[in-house]
Chains A and B, each alone.
Chain A
Amino acid sequence: MPIRTDFSATVEHISILDEHGVLDEQLAKDTLTDEQVLELFQYMCKCRALDETAFKLQRSGRMGTYPQNKGQEAAAIGSAFAAKRGVDWLVPCYRENAALWMHGLPMHYVLLHWMGDERGNQIPQGVNITPLCIPIGTQMLHATGISWAMKLRGIPGVAITYFGDGATSEGDFHEAMNFASVQQTPTIFFCQNNEWAISVPRERQMWSSTVAQKAIAYGMPCVRVDGNDLFAVYKASRDAIERARAGGGPSFIEAVTYRLADHTTADDARRYRDPVEVEAWVGKDPIIRLRKYLVSKGLWDDAKQAELDEAGKAMVSEVVRAAEGIAKPAVSDIFDYTYATIPPELEVQRRTMRTHSLGQSPEQVGLAGR
């Protein structure tokens, strides 16, 4: 018997708007209108402004550890814009704030989260978002389950889950991909490949030459896009979402981007990254190239930018005010959300927490009335 090929595959890489702001008109056809691009550009700028402010809040001691989103705005916005707010679900990790805001999460919630306040995760009714997920790669299974439930219940929604390149080394990533493909759930696996998992570069994270090809093992359509290219991200996301909504099952998108900032404010990327590499990626900034494009089309100018910067500043200070203006949570919150109904032992602890002797009433230790 001759040796035959049972399977072979290729991974496409889509790029529509290059780093100089030059658009491939052919590929850009039927993607975003000028009005939409303008709207999304302004969104990206405002998110960048808030991100910079969040960094300063941490540095000045007004907020805890914070992971900057800088440089990844096109990936977040382009994908989220392709999803239907209130119908589709976003299942994030923690570097796609812009997507969450676009889908209705009040902007100060993310700051609250990093200010050590669970109310930042108290997603309002009707907003289809799960809270930021700190452990790496675990949330993808929830996206698989949520979209599976939608399929079973006949709801025409999809779930997009976000994660980084490092997360694809976790077992849960593979289990989520496998479950989604076996059940043909409407799930979009959106990898923000930002080249670094804290200090470990992608080439030491995996031996495969792309992240996208991992989806091939699960029989899942996959594509690689320039993650700093709003048009390419949007196109790939829209296509994947349309396919999922039509019953075509899950898809995988690898958005090749770059973490322009440190992993978090607790990290110093200068310890492990070559400044030449960082500098090269600064030149590929998704906001700068989009602005160049808009200016070249006569849709944007310095005056409009100045106006937007002002509006951004005002919005940011309002968001910060909302996050900082909220009263400290009630101490009883520690207890009240552990179960739907508080069990007797926990009720005793709740009632007696200030006596430093759990199980004793305040009267027993002479603290009554204090």
Chain B
Amino acid sequence: MSSTTTAKEPFNPKLRRRVDDQGGQQLVECNLVEAITLTLAQEMDLDDRVMCLGEDVGLNGGVFRATDGLQARFGEQRVVDTPLSESGIMGSAIGLAMGGMRPIPEIQFEGFLGPAYDQLCNHAARYRTRSRGAITVPMVVRVPVGGGIHAPELHSDSPEAIYAHQPGLKVVMPSTPLDAKGLLAAAIADPDPVIFFEPKRVYRLPTREWIPEDRYTIPLGKARIVSEGTDLTLVTWGASVYQALAALDALPEDVSVELIDLRTIAPLDRDTVIESVNKTGRCVIVHEAPKTCGFGAELSSIIQENCFLHLHAPVQRVAGFDTIMPYYKLELEYLPDSKRIVEAVQQTLAY
């Protein structure tokens, strides 16, 4: 196998770069999708076994440009435009992983995970267990997720709870360029299958961010405390982190909210959530997915199991409704926004 260029050339020279004033560390200015592309390039530079495959990921660079420039750098063998065939992508990626590669299949939108569900849940997730460790499937399934971009039907759902319910899978959803880079590197290094949900609403928002260029990892299963607080814990992930931040701005200054970005849905960083709620005694959970059996239900249950005597109010959920995700004219009414979050926070504080 050969790379078309050497590993020494920096990937995507159009990105602005500078040296950090304090530590002399090389920084690069990226949005979330650029951070993902950069990480893919770095991981492919480091390890010949890493390859990308999916619909339109090659010459076109993916419909969100997440693999832009990779085929030019690594060739058609390692950045593969596949047939339009989600089960085919997932199933052959499983075989590639079993055959010693480190495949990174892309499913173009979360709504098209359906045809690949059987391969993902009935094979990728189960091989280690059913072969008692003899066969494993190290692969990262990249999937743009969530609403808010005026997309057609089945391009805006949030199915993370479905996959978090499947033993054997890990489910990650970064919300920032910094996290995306570290989490993706960790996911690629992980010996088990990982679904890497990329919140498409924040692929290019709100702004670019200076992040370290050199490889670093953020362990899967570790939440991030976005802001510390003492009155109430706000737990969310993915694009909703930004709605939560907007809610924080809208709340009176004397309200002290601890905002937690889960970053990984499975395995869950229970300790960070439990510790925070035991401290604040109040919790609001925010997610885009439908409320019933959403991941908020699991969180709420964990909180009552572990924080019961510390709670001052019932745990609230601000979620999508138990309906089909509407077409985009009504999507902003469906998705949790800062107003709904502020209301829930105030109700919980006033309980």
Interface of A toward B, CB cutoff 8 Å? 89, 118-119, 121-125, 130-131, 135, 138, 140-150, 152-154, 159, 171-172, 175-176, 178-179, 182-183, 333, 337-340, 343-346, 359
In the complex, identify which listed stretch (B18-26, B82-90, B196-204, B248-256) lies at the interface while the others stay far away: B82-90
Task: Establish whether residues A138 and B85, one from each chain, have CB atoms under 8 Å apart when the complex forms.
Answer: no
Q: A121-B134, A344-B270, A345-B270 are in contact. Are A138 and B1 (CB under 8 A)?
A: no
B38 to chain A, nearest CB (A): 24
CA distance A359 to B136 in the complex (A): 29
Interface centre among A124, A140, A146 (most CB of B within 10 A): A146
Asked if B99 and A147 make an inter-chain contact with CB atoms under 8 angstroms apart, the answer reads yes
A344 to B274: give the CA distance in the assembly, Å. 13
Instruction: For chain B, residues 137 to 182, give those with C-beta under 8 angstroms from any C-beta of chain A.
Output: 167-168, 170
A148-B99, A175-B87 given as contacts; is B192 within 8 A of A339 (CB)?
yes
Q: Are B128 and A338 in contact (CB under 8 A)?
A: yes
How far is B94's CA from A130's CA once the two chains are assembled, in angstroms? 12
Pairwise interchain contact B132-A145, C-beta atoms closer than 8 A: no
Task: Write out the residue numbers on chain A whose beta carbons fall within 8 Å of the beta carbon of B101.
Answer: 149, 152-153
Report, nearest first, the 10 A-B pairs whose CB atoms are least far apart.
A145-B95, A149-B99, A141-B91, A175-B88, A343-B267, A145-B92, A142-B95, A340-B191, A122-B132, A146-B99
For residue A129, give the distance in angstroms from its CB to the closest CB of chain B. 10
Report yes or no: A135 in contact with B270, Cβ–Cβ below 8 A. Answer: no
Which residues of B are found within 8 Å of A343, using beta-carbon distances? Answer: 221, 266-268
Q: Write the nearest CB–CB distance from B75 to chain A, whole angstroms.
A: 11
Are B83 and A149 neighbours in the complex by a CB distance under 8 Å? no
B51 closest partner in A (C-beta):
A152
Q: Given A123, A145, A147, which contacts B91 in the complex, CB threshold below 8 Å?
A: A145
Does any Cβ of A come within 8 Å of B271's Cβ?
yes
Establish whether residues A339 and B95, one from each chain, have CB atoms under 8 Å apart when the complex forms: no
A263-B212 Cα distance, complex, nearest whole Å: 59
- Decide if A176 touches B133 in the complex (CB within 8 Å): no
Q: Are the C-beta atoms of B267 and A138 separated by less than 8 Å?
A: no
Q: Are A145 and B192 in contact (CB under 8 A)?
A: no
A-chain residues with CB within 8 Å of residue B305 when the two chains form the complex: 359
Q: How far is the CB of A189 from chain B (nearest CB, A)?
A: 13
A345 with B132: CB separation less than 8 A = no
Beta-carbon contact of A142 and B94 below 8 Å: yes
> Total A-B residue pairs with C-beta atoms closer than 8 Å?
148
Q: Which of A122, A143, A344 contacts B95 (CB 8 A)?
A: A143
- B214 interface contact, C-beta 8 A: no
Most buried by B among A124, A143, A175, A333: A175
Is B98 interfacial (CB 8 A cutoff)? yes
Q: Are B128 and A142 in contact, with the CB atoms below 8 A?
A: no
Contact among B77, B98, B115, B306 for A142, CB-based, below 8 A: B98
Residue in A closest to B267 when the chains form the complex, CB atoms:
A343
Q: Is B123 an interface residue (CB 8 A)?
A: yes
The answer to the question of B5 belonging to the interface, with a C-beta cut-off of 8 Å to chain A, is no
Which residue of chain A has the shortest Cβ distance to B90 in the bound complex?
A: A141
Residue B187, interface by CB 8 Å:
no
Instruction: Assess the A175–B85 pair: CB atoms within 8 A.
Output: yes
Residues in B whose Cβ lies below 8 Å from that of A171: 87, 115
Apart from A141-B119, A147-B95, A340-B190: 10 A-B pairs, beta carbons within 8 A: A138-B118, A142-B123, A143-B95, A145-B99, A146-B95, A146-B99, A172-B88, A178-B88, A339-B267, A346-B267
Chain B residues whose CB sits within 8 angstroms of the CB of A124 once the complex forms: 134
Are B129 and A337 in contact, with the CB atoms below 8 A? yes
Q: Which has the most chain A C-beta neighbours within 10 Å: B88, B100, B118, B221?
A: B88
Cα A210 to Cα B57 with chains together (Å): 36
Partner among B95, B100, B132, B268 whose Cβ is within 8 Å of the Cβ of A141:
B95
CA distance A351 to B221 in the complex (A): 20
Chain B residues with CB under 8 Å of A178's CB are: 83, 85, 88
Q: Say yes or no: B271 contacts A339, CB within 8 Å.
A: no
B339: Cβ under 8 A from any A Cβ? no
Please, which residues of chain B bring their CB within 8 A of the CB of A346? 267
Whether B88 lies near A146 (C-beta < 8 A) is no
Q: A131 to B130, Cβ gap below 8 A? A: yes
User: Inside 8 A of B95's CB, which chain A residues have their CB?
Assistant: 141-149, 159
Q: Are A152 and B77 in contact (CB under 8 A)?
A: yes
A152 partner residues in chain B, CB cutoff 8 A: 1, 51, 77, 96, 101
Please, which residues of chain A bring their CB within 8 A of the CB of B271? Answer: 344
Could you list 18 A-B pairs, sorted by A, with CB under 8 Å?
A118-B129, A122-B133, A123-B135, A125-B134, A135-B118, A141-B94, A146-B95, A154-B1, A172-B118, A172-B119, A175-B85, A176-B88, A337-B131, A338-B129, A340-B191, A345-B267, A345-B268, A345-B270
What's the minimum C-beta distance from B102 to chain A, rounded to whole angstroms? 10
Residues on A with C-beta less than 8 A from B129 are 118, 337-338
What is the CA–CA distance of A325 and B350 in the complex, to the nearest angstrom?
Answer: 65
Quick check: is B93 within 8 A (CB to CB) of the other chain? yes
Q: Which of A138, A337, A340 has the most CB of B within 10 A?
A: A337
Partner of A131, one of B90, B97, B135, B270: B135
| Chain A residues within 8 Å of B267, by CB | 339, 343-346
- What residue of chain B has the Cβ atom nearest to residue A131's Cβ? B131
Contacts A178-B85, A338-B128, A344-B271: A138 and B122 contacting too (C-beta < 8 A)? yes
Contact A179 B82 (CB under 8 A): yes
Complex-state Cα separation, A35 to B4, whole angstroms: 51
Q: Which residues from chain A contact B122 at a C-beta distance below 8 Å?
A: 135, 138
Q: How far is the CA of A119 from the CA of B129 in the complex (A)?
A: 10
- Asked whether B98 lies within 8 Å of A121 as measured between CB atoms, the reply is no
Q: Are A145 and B97 in contact (CB under 8 A)?
A: yes
Q: List CB contacts (< 8 Å) of B217-232 with chain A.
A: 221
Minimum CB–CB distance from B217 to chain A (whole Å) comes to 15
A339:B134 contact, CB within 8 angstroms: no
| Contact call B100/A145, Cβ cutoff below 8 A | no
